[in-house]
A and B are shown apart, each in its own frame.
Chain A
């Protein structure tokens, strides 16, 4: 079932992205972008990232793309205007793009991720303790698994506020056994409180800056007229 869903979402995401590249009309590009981004949101849901998927839908699809279409409407000089590229440019970009895709895809598919995961865990053990006194099994090194721990909203929220439920304070489970790398580690990290604050200030700056740009241009228009 989830495999079928994955295939559908993956095809829609890739196909939408391809159509964005291939179509000439900007509003059609926006439509295909919506298809692609919504399918990526679907992939996020499949990966158990419900909050990230919802954010993707709300901010990207609902916000950014509407903003882009709004921009198209404000700037298009005629109905369904298209600005075409040179055919030679398109061919060049197509060839380079295919080569790049082949490179990236073959790299991604040739790496043995699980083995790297195990090696990374060993390296972490070395770094933390200087000696391998307890080799952790790869099973206990799994990432955040929503099937075990429900939804991600609370943990994400607390992570942004500086407390990591999934890492800090990870308590011993019922039978007393520790998860591999977390034994005795009860330091509280700052989580993502500082980046969160920086991003909020950044958003404010962008808001003021964009409003200033929009205002400045209107003043020039009035002076010219």
Chain B
């Protein structure tokens, strides 16, 4: 069985726990239910909160109050009211539409935004699918969202939708390049594509966060943030919807639940890229205050179940960081005017691509410069020292299948460390 298939870890856990007399198929069904519920919580709750926050922040920025009535003083339940309203609406497809694609397109968008969370580690070990190519595949899955939007734009049979879809495709071609390059920068510093490892590397103090590892990564974070605005279709890059020019862009013809799917997906992917930014640059699930982290670690190890609680605490930290980034995205949306499509492509291709290439080169050369000037490869402690090599796949508790392959993994690790030694001493063995 493949170690990184979705259901495997819970299936193993149910098998090993043996308190539940289940055969393989019901176990797989249970695993699927548990996973989808967990991921669904992370998918739905942030969207719920952020829709409310969007209205509230927009109101405050425009010197209004925002929602005040539904569910108490601050309008907490505004999102619920919105949802109820949307569910009641009629689900219709226009005559001119290609009905099959029109109905399927929202599902592609939602599924893409939904499955990207599978690869996101919320805390040390709290990841549904831990794999070495985690960052890469998360971005790959997230980029499928564009496909649904382009299909929706085409299938609606409306010129506004078609314009929205084409704008989204053009925008995607331009933002994917700087997004890929800026994401590679922290990967180069950390030396791994595994998101769990990248998070674990940033323990012990705010100076160990990858954003502070060199001036280039510091700038790269801002380029990354700009590009994620474009990838989320958030203002000033919301060309695909552009209410004032294209009515609603790609979702002009949608109503009811299918319309709200697009928005659930948008808020979920906002949260996703913000959490990704927090893991890649902003220290992941670490507080950034090393005495606090150390105290938490020591108390957690000395108490029963403390390990689990520590992870949940780490998840809260990550969600707070991501929520702050989402807040900044909302803030930017309601303060900046929209760009034109040619300005978007100019920004992404003419400015952000050269900038990110330069930052990438700088991040590669930086350790060499440091090594020749101050004699070590980073200003603070080198990233490789912060994590034990043997735990390179990160999460021993969750990925129980790794323990099953313990000897094989060890052999592999020892192999490649020997190869590294061989390379550095210039001989084959």
Residues of A within 8 A of B (CB): 1-2, 5, 25, 27-28, 30-31, 34, 38, 45-46, 48, 50-51, 53-55, 57-58, 61-63, 65-67, 69-70, 72-73, 79-80, 146-154, 163, 165, 168-171, 173-174, 186-188
Residues in B neighbouring A187, C-beta threshold 8 A: 428
Query: Is B81 positioned at the interface, with any CB of A under 8 Å from its CB?
Result: no
Query: Is B176 positioned at the interface, with any CB of A under 8 Å from its CB?
Result: yes
A-B contact sample (14 more), CB < 8 A, given A62-B144, A151-B393, A152-B133: A25-B98, A27-B101, A28-B98, A45-B5, A53-B137, A55-B140, A58-B137, A62-B147, A70-B150, A70-B170, A149-B409, A150-B393, A150-B405, A171-B414
Contact status B150-A66, CB under 8 Å: yes
Q: A28-B98, A69-B154 are in contact. Are A153 and B193 (CB under 8 A)?
A: yes
24 interchain pairs (CB within 8 A)? Answer: A2-B1, A2-B2, A27-B151, A28-B98, A38-B144, A50-B131, A51-B132, A54-B137, A57-B137, A58-B137, A66-B147, A66-B169, A66-B172, A69-B154, A80-B157, A146-B3, A149-B408, A149-B412, A153-B133, A153-B193, A163-B423, A169-B422, A171-B414, A174-B407
A45 to B133, CA, bound (A): 12
Interface centre among A61, A65, A152, A153 (most CB of B within 10 A): A153
In the complex, what's the smallest C-beta–C-beta distance from B115 to chain A, in angstroms? 10
A61 to B139, CA, bound (A): 12
| Cross-chain contact of A57 among B140, B155, B407 (Cβ < 8 A) | B140
Residues in B neighbouring A63, C-beta threshold 8 A: 143, 176
| Number of residues of chain B lying within 8 A (CB) of chain A | 58
A2 to B8, CA, bound (A): 10
Residue of B nearest to A187 (CB): B428
Contact status B173-A67, CB under 8 Å: yes
Residues in B neighbouring A174, C-beta threshold 8 A: 407, 411
Query: Is B165 positioned at the interface, with any CB of A under 8 Å from its CB?
Result: yes
Contact status B140-A54, CB under 8 Å: yes
Contact status A50-B166, CB under 8 Å: no
Contact status A54-B133, CB under 8 Å: yes
Residues in A neighbouring B11, C-beta threshold 8 A: 1
Residues in B neighbouring A147, C-beta threshold 8 A: 1-3, 405, 408
| Cross-chain contact of B169 among A48, A73, A188 (Cβ < 8 A) | A73
Interface centre among A30, A50, A63 (most CB of B within 10 A): A50
A9 to B205, CA, bound (A): 45
In the complex, what's the smallest C-beta–C-beta distance from B419 to chain A, in angstroms? 5
In the complex, what's the smallest C-beta–C-beta distance from A81 to chain B, in angstroms? 12
In the complex, what's the smallest C-beta–C-beta distance from B156 to chain A, in angstroms? 10
Query: Is B22 positioned at the interface, with any CB of A under 8 Å from its CB?
Result: no
A122 to B143, CA, bound (A): 46
Secondary structure type dominating chain A contacts: helix
Residues in A neighbouring B7, C-beta threshold 8 A: 1
A37 to B172, CA, bound (A): 20
**Chain A proximity mask over B158-201: 1 for CB below 8 Å, otherwise 0:** 00001001100110110010000000000000000110000000
Residues in A neighbouring B131, C-beta threshold 8 A: 50, 151
Residues in B neighbouring A55, C-beta threshold 8 A: 136, 140
In the complex, what's the smallest C-beta–C-beta distance from B220 to chain A, in angstroms? 20
A40 to B365, CA, bound (A): 38
Query: Is B312 positioned at the interface, with any CB of A under 8 Å from its CB?
Result: no
| Cross-chain contact of A79 among B2, B96, B172, B193 (Cβ < 8 A) | B96
In chain B, positions 115-144 with a C-beta closer than 8 Å to chain A are: 131-133, 136-137, 139-141, 143-144
Residues in B neighbouring A62, C-beta threshold 8 A: 140, 143-144, 146-147, 176
Residues in B neighbouring A188, C-beta threshold 8 A: 428
Query: Is B361 positioned at the interface, with any CB of A under 8 Å from its CB?
Result: no
Interface centre among B147, B155, B169 (most CB of A within 10 A): B147
Query: Is B418 positioned at the interface, with any CB of A under 8 Å from its CB?
Result: yes
Contact status B2-A70, CB under 8 Å: no
A53 to B141, CA, bound (A): 11
Residues in A neighbouring B172, C-beta threshold 8 A: 66
A43 to B98, CA, bound (A): 30
In the complex, what's the smallest C-beta–C-beta distance from B290 to chain A, in angstroms? 29
In the complex, what's the smallest C-beta–C-beta distance from A20 to chain B, in angstroms? 14
Residue of A nearest to B151 (CB): A31
